[in-house]
Chain A
Amino acid sequence: MNDGVLSVENINKSFGGVHALKDVSMQIRGGEVHCLSGENGSGKSTLIKIISGYYKPDSGKICVDGNEYREMTPAESINHGIQVIYQDFSLFPNLSVMENLSINAEAARGSKIISYKRMRETALRAVEKINLKIDMKAKVADLSVADRQMTAIARALVHDAKVIIMDEATASLTRNEVNCLFKVIHQLKEEGVAIVFVSHKLDEVFEISDSITIFRNGMNVVSCKASEINEERFSYYMTGREIQSTQEKPLVGDSSRIMLETKNLTVEGAFEDVSIQLYKGEIFGIAGQLGSGRTELAMTLFGMADIKSGEILMEGNPIKISSVQKAKQLKIGYVPEDRLTEGLFLEQALVENVAVTHLADLSSKAGFYHKKEAEEETTQWIDTLSISPRNRNNLAQKLSGGNQQKVVLAKWLACNPSILILNGPTVGVDIGAKQDIYDLLNQYASQGMSIIIASDDILEIKKLCNRVAVMKGGKINAFLCGEEVTEQALIEASI
């Protein structure tokens, strides 16, 4: 019965009245990559936290190495070789790579005196296991996201991990970096390590996994070999509905009306000589990997950088976007890359989260805030964007990633912008909500809004954009238009 390294049987877990996991069973074998998928809030994270000993299950059991547990402590979990790499990697940003790799092992020795020599050896051993080339003295804060990811994996290996659980490991990686990660995963697999790969990026899931388990509403809806399922069924299992894209071809826009234009725009240390044109009613793509300058370009258009040279024109008139306030006045909206730290007020209600961008419109001249008006408006946006649960007084932190992103969208749509810039609009958003957001963007663009999407998600760019500027190393490497926008071309231009 327990041929797996790790299995859970009939796990139940409730938080208050919410039944987060219902009778969940799952088996993970050594040397396999097991993909755990499901929309946000489907219970993936809860299960991971039960396996890592963070939560105690209400009922059910966990079997590791033939031992049965009703519940596990984090220490037991680690001792059985279970390592979890969380989305934020849980590294110490102010310490060096070497210290990060070895500090847990060093602390576990219980010795009161730290030996840097021993730490260095521990760290080197871990790095060798995945052939990672990295500066041991570099501070983690200064590393790229990909290097941080690799550091986190190397750290997991210090403890002779038998099971490595990667929670949304690829969420902030570029395609290139994902390939490197996959190489490492293959190598670990050959060594007999079981990998639980949590992701809802379809292409990656099919590329890497041997088995797939999909959660929906706290239940295991399917567990099978990756070869027994196709993308369509996968989406269906995840959402419980058939996803149909309503628009096949990206919008073309009105090339006779140029809403925004940059001429030889240069921002020191970010990008140089960027000239783009944004038509009315189109979705313009800025593709490019992390560090290519796409984020900086998007932020510059929202008034967050000092322009060194070049100019920005709006409908033919030169303008200066000197501050976020100025950008807002010019009817430019910006959906930031990281909705948790830059987009949302997590402990505030949806009403305040939506109202924040246009408080002046919701207040009298004397500055008195019309709460009723704001509430009614929020209710409308909840309906328009089908945000669930449909309660405007919910705190933003209680929503799933997709719904949170819709709230960030709502706060800008409520300003009625003529230009909306989105930076990574669907990072960490589940398939269902992703499609909703795409449909929305298409709908607003066809009504005349001009939209810029900065993203490293090639499929997303291909799906939405008729014209794309591909950035690389701070410069525009290629312009693609219409039929030229293919996955191949996008990848080639960005690496």
Chain B
Amino acid sequence: MAEKSGVYLKKIMNDPIFRIFILMSAVVIFGALLMPGKFLTAGNMTSIAKQLSEYGILALAVFICMVSGGIDLSVVYIANLCGIIIGTMLSKTIGSSDFAGSAAWMIVFSSAAVMAVGCVCGALNGILIGKLKVPAMLATLGSGQLILGISTVITNGQAITGVPAVFTKLSGIKFWILPLNFQVFIFCAVIMYMIMSRTSFGLRTLLIGSNSKAAFFSGINNNRDLVKIYTISGLLASVSGIISTMRMSSAKPDYGTSYIMFSILICVFGGTSPNGGKGNVPGIVLAAIVLQMVATLMNMFQNLSTFYRDIVWGALLLIMLIINYILDNRHVTKR
């Protein structure tokens, strides 16, 4: 009996989701003890939820590419382009009073248009990677630069401002303590979870990432699926761009460039294999929450210099990655 529960415990410990969950609990308790009345408040939780949503969605975008054995480094630039386009569209239309009555429709219409732009950008990546066999890292690095250039030309390198208040106010909508941005993130995560675990497309994505050659020899149309995968990634990036513009009431071509690194870290942190073929959505959600909590907690120590924060931040991430590595490889004696 004792042995059985031991095996069970081992099984749980090997589950990355469980590990992140433990860490999250630790961060919450730690935060509540160190910053009583400041960390564990509804207001703080709301701001955490608001901040993590944008790169949480970007992480989902990187995640599906990573599971398929690739990566998408262009997500931030796609998001920025989409943010710029929707900001411009709305400020040009709703801004002039003629259209004020149909503001809601304009928001819906421009969101749809921007999501289409995201899909096109993603599909472009997919074609480069699937059909033309450009390594994902180079393809998306290049397309990211291209998209950054397009954004810069559109905006003359300036930030887009004057986004109508009708739109930015939307991010104030709350469900309990959860802001709209976070609701969108959770919605995306649920959809992604369904896709990855319940559809044959999700399984194909996993298998392509696991062994693309074997997938090809099994009659999977890798190219077509890769285009789909990167299109989804582009679509998610555009959603992130929309809520980002909504929250900041502005957009610029090079906003949040550090998010790409952050998204990749969330993916790996959440148990996604950088080699492909392994990963789960709940892990991404939890990892995004934990990382933002730690960031917020560190920001609360006013006398902690930003430079030191970076050290703590980087070290914590590396330690978690090493722990993940050790736990994942424990059963392999020597390799």
Task: Tell whether B200 is near chain A: CB-to-CB under 8 Å.
Answer: yes
Minimal beta-carbon separation of B194 from chain A (angstroms)? 9
User: Can you list the 9 inter-chain pairs with the closest CB atoms, starting with the nearest?
Assistant: A328-B219, A363-B200, A359-B200, A345-B210, A356-B218, A369-B200, A367-B199, A357-B218, A324-B219
What chain A residues lie within 8 Å of B201 (beta carbons)? Answer: 367
Task: Tell whether A190 is near chain B: CB-to-CB under 8 Å.
Answer: no
A55 to B332, CA, bound (A): 12
Between-chain CB contacts (< 8 Å), 24 pairs: A55-B334, A323-B221, A324-B216, A325-B221, A328-B219, A341-B214, A342-B214, A344-B211, A344-B214, A345-B207, A346-B210, A347-B278, A356-B203, A356-B215, A356-B218, A357-B218, A359-B204, A363-B199, A367-B199, A368-B198, A368-B199, A369-B199, A369-B202, A369-B203
Cβ B207 vs Cβ A348 within 8 A: yes
A236 to B216, CA, bound (A): 39
Minimal beta-carbon separation of A338 from chain B (angstroms)? 9
Looking across the interface, which residue of chain A has its beta carbon closest to that of B334?
A: A55
Minimal beta-carbon separation of A113 from chain B (angstroms)? 33
Cβ B216 vs Cβ A352 within 8 A: no
Contact with A along B300-335 (1 / 0, CB 8 A): 000000000000000000000000000000010110
Cβ A336 vs Cβ B203 within 8 A: no
Taking each of A356, A357, A359, which has the highest tally of chain B beta carbons within 10 Å of its own beta carbon? A356
What chain B residues lie within 8 Å of A327 (beta carbons)? Answer: 219
What chain A residues lie within 8 Å of B216 (beta carbons)? Answer: 324
Minimal beta-carbon separation of B224 from chain A (angstroms)? 9
Which one of A15, A343, A348 contacts B206 once the chains associate, using CB atoms below 8 Å? A348
Tell me the residues in window 189-242 of chain B with beta carbons closer than 8 Å to chain A beta carbons. Answer: 198-204, 206-207, 210-211, 213-221
Cβ B221 vs Cβ A345 within 8 A: no
Cβ B207 vs Cβ A411 within 8 A: no
Minimal beta-carbon separation of B332 from chain A (angstroms)? 9
Task: Tell whether B277 is near chain A: CB-to-CB under 8 Å.
Answer: yes
What chain A residues lie within 8 Å of B277 (beta carbons)? Answer: 345, 347-348
Cβ A342 vs Cβ B334 within 8 A: no
What chain A residues lie within 8 Å of B199 (beta carbons)? Answer: 363, 367-369
Minimal beta-carbon separation of A28 from chain B (angstroms)? 24
What chain B residues lie within 8 Å of A363 (beta carbons)? Answer: 199-200
7 extra interchain contacts, Cβ-Cβ under 8 A, other than A16-B331, A324-B217, A367-B200?
A: A325-B219, A343-B217, A345-B210, A347-B277, A357-B218, A357-B219, A367-B201
What chain A residues lie within 8 Å of B204 (beta carbons)? Answer: 356, 359
Chain A interface residue count, CB cutoff 8 Å, equals 31
Cβ B334 vs Cβ A352 within 8 A: no
Minimal beta-carbon separation of B260 from chain A (angstroms)? 27
Cβ B217 vs Cβ A342 within 8 A: yes
A323 to B207, CA, bound (A): 19
What chain B residues lie within 8 Å of A344 (beta carbons)? Answer: 211, 214
Cβ A54 vs Cβ B334 within 8 A: yes
Task: Tell whether A334 is near chain B: CB-to-CB under 8 Å.
Answer: yes
What chain B residues lie within 8 Å of A348 (beta carbons)? Answer: 206-207, 210, 277
What chain B residues lie within 8 Å of A357 (beta carbons)? Answer: 218-219
Taking each of A15, A54, A348, which has the highest tally of chain B beta carbons within 10 Å of its own beta carbon? A348
A341 to B204, CA, bound (A): 17
Minimal beta-carbon separation of B40 from chain A (angstroms)? 39
Cβ B198 vs Cβ A411 within 8 A: no
Cβ B219 vs Cβ A345 within 8 A: no
Tell me the residues in window 35-89 of chain A with beta carbons closer than 8 Å to chain B beta carbons. Answer: 54-55
What chain B residues lie within 8 Å of A347 (beta carbons)? Answer: 210, 277-278
Cβ A341 vs Cβ B211 within 8 A: yes
Minimal beta-carbon separation of A188 from chain B (angstroms)? 30
Minimal beta-carbon separation of A360 from chain B (angstroms)? 7
Cβ A342 vs Cβ B203 within 8 A: no
Cβ A411 vs Cβ B218 within 8 A: yes
Cβ A362 vs Cβ B334 within 8 A: no
A359 to B198, CA, bound (A): 12
Task: Tell whether A355 is near chain B: CB-to-CB under 8 Å.
Answer: yes
Which one of A342, A352, A359, A411 contacts B213 once the chains associate, using CB atoms below 8 Å? A342
A16 to B331, CA, bound (A): 7
A352 to B220, CA, bound (A): 13
